[in-house]
């Protein structure tokens, strides 16, 4: 009781209460620790902690709220972040690191070694300064560029492919749309163009070009080597073969076929009108199912026509001219070598013979014949109608050569009519032999003697 009544007791009690209040106020505010803190259990901090000297945990540690590191943040083992982590200064991993969930990088993403991404990666851009390998699908929504070589080990599906420099595809390149090359496209092996091949400029195929269907060229198609057109060749416009064109089958031209040099044709069959502007050499048979018009000189080793044929101009024949049927000549025919007919022949117009005209059998003239050079018959000859002779003679030394007239012989003249029987040999005279009604031959001749001066002598007998 003395204690509670003493002044010292109240002084001590007041000091203890003030001390507790000061401690309580100090703990509920910021606390600065200048040395190390070690705890064997859990160390809970409910408010903001500023670790100026750093934070080292030698065992598993959990930060339930935000952890802000102004400098280096290191983890000797696994650092697990259950929420969003913002690494404003960047993220450098000195060893293998795994992002179990989404890793969002606002700036440059670099990997000094291998970066393995197990799921989908969305990259605003991808720039590799060294060799890089993508083991799975790489989807690029924009431009895909490679400053050096891009090697693709599997199938690549490209919405489009634009190369600004030389590019090489070591395996199959499948193009479902348009394939364009601003410069030269080199294909080292077989190229299958299922949709076709359209070139909007000059193109060169250095090897074989095989077209299973239609091959069209809007301009000039140049082939420096041999071209084999197994299905044929159809040109819808003017076409030029600068060198030899070899055709194993039928060669057809719907319009005009112009050949500037020599053409060797196993055969030539034209189903319509055809024109050869230069020389046409035919080593075999030349046939025309209709009309063959030749505008210039034709040299024929032989000419055989199995039907009616017409030559509108001069026909020069250096050898034998034969006609199995009728040969009609509409104008003048000059037969310089002669004219030999081995069968019956008819000349419907004038026949002019500048030299010898011979007939091995019968020569029939239905109209007027003018024999200006004369008429010599070496055998029996018959004139069935009038024979008009300006000068008539029978050459023979004996009367064995006779002139027979089955009707009357009419000798007329516009002036004095003269029958001249003249012997050109001296001492020989002329004689007329007549057959009388009694069947006896009479010789009429002229002689001169002392008893007969200028009178005709008629006596029985023949002229001798």
The per-residue pLDDT for range 166-183, each reduced to its tens digit, is 777 777 787 777 777 777
Where does the pLDDT of residue 355 fall: very low under 50, low under 70, confident under 90, or very high at 90 and above? confident
Q: Which two tokens stand for residue 223?
A: 């082939």
Name which of 99, 73, 77, 98 is nearest 87 in CA terms.
73
Lowest mean pLDDT among 228-237, 278-287, 390-399: 390-399
Specify the higher pLDDT residue, 149 or 442: 442
C-alpha span between 298 and 309 (Å, rounded): 15
Q: How far is CA 60 from the centre of its chain?
A: 82
C-alpha span between 127 and 111 (Å, rounded): 11
* Beta carbons within 10 angstroms of residue 90's beta carbon: 11
C-alpha span between 184 and 165 (Å, rounded): 11
Specify the higher pLDDT residue, 399 or 256: 256
The DSSP bridge partners found for residue 441 are 435
**Strand segments (E) across 340-388:** none
The per-residue pLDDT for range 192-202, each reduced to its tens digit, is 877 777 777 77
- Residues of the chain with pLDDT > 90, as a percent, come to 3
Is residue 134 one of the residues assigned to a domain? no
Structural domain span for residue 438: 431-464
Report pLDDT for 19: 61
Torsion from C-alpha of 116, 118, 122, 124, nearest 10 degrees: 0
Q: What is the DSSP string of 317-345?
A: -SS----SS----SS----SS----SS--
Q: Which two tokens stand for residue 89?
A: 């200064």
C-alpha span between 429 and 439 (Å, rounded): 25
Q: What is the DSSP string of 13-61?
A: HHHHHHHHHHHHHHHTS-----S----SS-----S----TT----SS--
Domain total for the chain?
A: 1
C-alpha span between 195 and 178 (Å, rounded): 9
The per-residue pLDDT for range 9-45, each reduced to its tens digit, is 666 666 656 665 554 544 455 667 766 777 777 777 7
Report pLDDT for 310: 76
Report pLDDT for 151: 77
- H/E stretch holding 7 reads helix 7-27
Q: What average pLDDT does the segment 307-329 reach?
A: 75
Name which of 62, 90, 59 is nearest 76 in CA terms.
59
Where does the pLDDT of residue 403 fall: very low under 50, low under 70, confident under 90, or very high at 90 and above? low
Is residue 450 one of the residues assigned to a domain? yes
Name the range with the highest mean pLDDT among 61-65, 215-219, 284-288, 441-445.
Answer: 441-445
Q: Which two tokens stand for residue 98?
A: 């795994």
Write down the residue that tokens 């910021």 correspond to: 30
Is residue 460 one of the residues assigned to a domain? yes
C-alpha span between 22 and 16 (Å, rounded): 10
Report pLDDT for 174: 79
Q: Which two tokens stand for residue 19?
A: 């001390």
Is residue 457 one of the residues assigned to a domain? yes
C-alpha span between 21 and 339 (Å, rounded): 163
Where does the pLDDT of residue 3 fall: very low under 50, low under 70, confident under 90, or very high at 90 and above? very low
Q: Is the pLDDT assigned to residue 132 strictly greater than 50?
A: yes
- The most distant pair of C-alpha atoms in the chain lies apart, rounded to whole Å, by 248
C-alpha span between 94 and 216 (Å, rounded): 63
Q: Is the pLDDT assigned to residue 386 strictly greater than 50?
A: yes
Is residue 444 one of the residues assigned to a domain? yes
Report pLDDT for 21: 56
Where does the pLDDT of residue 460 fall: very low under 50, low under 70, confident under 90, or very high at 90 and above? very high
Average pLDDT over the chain, rounded to whole? 74
Is residue 130 one of the residues assigned to a domain? no
Is residue 439 one of the residues assigned to a domain? yes
Q: Is the pLDDT assigned to residue 396 strictly greater than 60?
A: no
Is residue 464 one of the residues assigned to a domain? yes
The per-residue pLDDT for range 321-350, each reduced to its tens digit, is 777 777 777 777 777 777 777 777 777 777
Report pLDDT for 442: 95
């Amino acid at each position: 009781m003395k204690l509670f009544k003493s002044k010292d007791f109240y002084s001590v009690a007041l000091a203890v209460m003030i001390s507790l209040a000061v401690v309580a106020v100090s703990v509920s505010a910021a606390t600065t620790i200048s040395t190390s803190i070690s705890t064997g259990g859990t160390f809970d901090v409910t408010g903001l902690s500023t670790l100026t000297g750093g934070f080292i945990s030698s065992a598993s540690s959990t930060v339930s709220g935000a952890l802000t590191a102004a400098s280096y943040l290191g983890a000797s083992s696994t650092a697990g972040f259950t929420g969003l982590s913002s690494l404003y200064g960047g993220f450098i991993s000195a060893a293998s690191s795994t992002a179990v969930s989404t890793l969002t990088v606002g700036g440059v993403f670099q990997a000094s070694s291998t970066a393995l991404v197990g799921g989908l990666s969305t990259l605003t851009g991808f720039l590799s300064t060294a060799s890089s390998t993508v083991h799975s699908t790489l989807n690029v929504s924009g431009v895909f560029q490679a400053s050096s070589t891009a090697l693709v080990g599997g199938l690549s599906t490209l919405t489009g492919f634009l190369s600004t420099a030389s590019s090489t595809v070591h395996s199959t390149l499948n193009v479902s749309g348009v394939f364009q090359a601003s410069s030269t496209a080199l294909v080292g092996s077989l190229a299958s163009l299922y949709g076709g091949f359209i070139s909007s400029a000059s193109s060169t195929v250095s090897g074989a070009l095989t077209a299973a269907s239609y091959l069209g060229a809007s301009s000039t198609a140049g082939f420096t080597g041999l071209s084999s057109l197994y299905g044929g060749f159809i040109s819808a416009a003017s076409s030029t073969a600068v060198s030899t064109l070899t055709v194993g089958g039928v060669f057809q031209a719907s319009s005009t076929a112009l050949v500037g040099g020599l053409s060797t044709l196993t055969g030539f069959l034209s189903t319509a009108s055809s024109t050869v502007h230069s020389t046409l050499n035919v080593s075999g048979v030349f046939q025309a199912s209709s009309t063959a018009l030749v505008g210039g000189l034709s040299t024929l080793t032989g000419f055989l026509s199995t039907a009616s044929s017409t030559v509108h101009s001069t026909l020069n024949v250096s050898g034998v001219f034969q006609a199995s049927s009728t040969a009609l000549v509409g104008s003048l025919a000059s037969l310089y070598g002669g004219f030999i007919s081995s069968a019956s022949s008819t000349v419907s117009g004038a026949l002019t013979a500048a030299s010898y005209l011979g007939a091995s059998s019968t020569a029939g003239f239905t109209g007027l014949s003018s024999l200006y050079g004369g008429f010599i018959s070496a055998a029996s000859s018959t004139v069935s109608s009038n024979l008009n002779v300006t000068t008539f003679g029978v050459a023979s030394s004996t009367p064995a050569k006779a002139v027979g007239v089955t009707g009357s012989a009419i000798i007329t003249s516009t002036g004095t009519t003269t029958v001249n029987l003249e012997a050109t040999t001296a001492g020989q005279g002329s004689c007329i032999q007549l057959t009388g009604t009694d069947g006896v031959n009479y010789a009429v001749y002229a002689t001169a003697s002392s008893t007969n001066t200028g009178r005709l002598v008629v006596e029985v007998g023949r002229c001798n």
